[in-house]
Amino acid sequence: MISKRLSAIVNLIKNDNNIADIGSDHGYVLLELRKKGFVSRLMGVENKKNPFLHLKENVARSGYQNIECAYSDGLNDVDNEFKTIVIAGMGFDIIKNIILSNKEKLKYINNIIIDSHTDKSKVRPFFISLGYDIDDEVVIFEDDIYYDLVSFKKCNNIQKYTMEELEFGKTNLLNKSNDFKNMIIDEINKNITIIQKINDPSSLRVGELNKRNDYLRGIIK
Ligand SMILES: C[S@@+](CC[C@H](N)C(=O)[O-])C[C@H]1O[C@@H](n2cnc3c(N)ncnc32)[C@H](O)[C@@H]1O
């Protein structure tokens, strides 16, 4: 059985329209898509030898004949038939670099599913600036980590978002799931720990952290 995070990523893929998983590693997302009955082209891309071998091995072992494996960097070998890309389990700078190195390929890509493990607040504004609107999103908690998963769809008429919606997601703010609320509480608690360590109520950093915590408390009220 695949992990809760990978299963949530698969659930965000709604269109069976040729899907490339960039940084596929084990290939579990692609195998799960086939298992779910997705019939379109599937491609796993890996730019490192061992994960690539791992990917090829898992695909071969699965018995599915038609999952392509590319030993390649980012979107370099993703042709214009691919309409959905998944980039999961990486830092935001790598994700951004993968996209900007092949920006012209976005012309063909309609759906993008992102699981960034750093700088989560930059994810939504970045993809919105490239002409994608938020299609769906979910926060999940697994192995002591909160994951903020977002799917984007190409859109000519992108909604206007508030600052809070850009950082946390409109759907997440409406649903206020337990995992979402706990993610916010976790940040508040981490900030309190830092404040206690600084132990100087007049310091600028403490002021900033207290302000951030007031803002976060407002989010989950
Ligand atoms: C931490 S793993 C995540 C694997 C899987 N996507 C997941 O979410 O479980 C990140 C993978 O991305 C691959 N990777 C990083 N940068 C890449 C790039 N520019 N092109 C292709 N693969 C890349 C790494 O080799 C690594 O296997």
The ranges assigned to domains in the chain are 4-172, 181-220
Closest to 45 measured CA to CA, from 11, 61, 68: 68
* pLDDT of 1 over the 90 cut: no
Best residue for ligand 1 mutational test, from 2, 3, 46, 55 (most atoms within 8 Å of Cβ): 46
* pTM score of the predicted model: 0.96
- How would residue 168 be classed by pLDDT, with cut points 50, 70 and 90? very high
What mean pLDDT do residues 126-132 have?
Answer: 98
Overall size of the chain counted in residues: 221
- What pLDDT does 65 receive? 84
73: Cβ below 6 Å to ligand 1?
yes
* pLDDT of 96 over the 90 cut: yes
Beta strands in 119-198 (DSSP E): 132-142, 145-154
103: Cβ below 6 Å to ligand 1?
no
Q: How far apart are CA 113 and CA 169, in angstroms?
A: 14
Index of the ligand 1 atom closest to the CA of residue 73: 20
Ligand 1, atom 13: closest residue by C-alpha: 23
Query: How far is the centre of ligand 1, averaged over its atoms, from the C-alpha of 29 (Å)?
Result: 12
Mean per-residue pLDDT over the chain, rounded: 97
- What pLDDT does 220 receive? 94
Helix (H, G, I), strand (E, B) or coil at 167: helix
Ligand 1, atom 11: closest residue by C-alpha: 23
Give the CATH H-level superfamily of domain 4-172.
Answer: Vaccinia Virus protein VP39 (3.40.50.150)
Ligand 1, atom 15: closest residue by C-alpha: 23
What is the Rg, in whole angstroms, of the alpha carbon atoms belonging to the chain? 19
44: Cβ below 6 Å to ligand 1?
no
171: Cβ below 6 Å to ligand 1?
no
40: Cβ below 6 Å to ligand 1?
no
43: Cβ below 6 Å to ligand 1?
no
Index of the ligand 1 atom closest to the CA of residue 94: 16
